[in-house]
Amino acid sequence: MIIEDDQDDVFLLNRAFDDARRILCRDIKTEHIENGLEALYLVSRQDLTENLPDILVLDLNMPKLDGIKFLMTLRQSLVLKDLPVFVLTTTTAKSIHEEAMRAGADRVYVKPDDAKALLSIALDMVGSGCGPGGEARHA
């Protein structure tokens, strides 16, 4: 699940996941939510149906509920506390990265300027290698 309010960033990230899908021989599906509040509601609701995404890709600067508050709320749930969350942000401030990690991010990435670097990040997020028949991933 991609939690991002910038449509251009969503487009670029989806393209990177499409490239990762071809490289890794995996069925990577993405879902997009524009703000942290909607994402929190949807992930909490999906928890009830056991249909959680494999990973969350989270922007920090969003309307309604920013990424740090989203992380702190998500990590309070016993069921959702272990859901992998990768922050993808424009900020290079180490203090903000550290705050995101303290709030519960599994990893923080700075949004790169080129497609090759974004592909590298997408590959890192979903892992490497092909499972038998290409295992499905849901971001």
Question: Which of these, 8, 15, 30, 31, lies nearest to 121 by C-alpha position?
Answer: 15
Q: Say which residue the tokens 């990973």 belong to.
A: 55
Mind listing the domains of the chain with CATH numbers? 2-126 (3.40.50.2300)
Consecutive 10-residue averages of pLDDT for the chain (139 residues): 96 96 90 92 74 91 92 89 93 96 96 96 78 48
CA gap 105, 83 in Å, rounded: 10
| DSSP-based helix, strand, coil % in the chain, nearest 5 | 45, 15, 40
Please report the sign of the dihedral spanned by the C-alpha atoms of residue 94, residue 96, residue 102, residue 107.
negative
**What does pTM read for this prediction?**
0.87
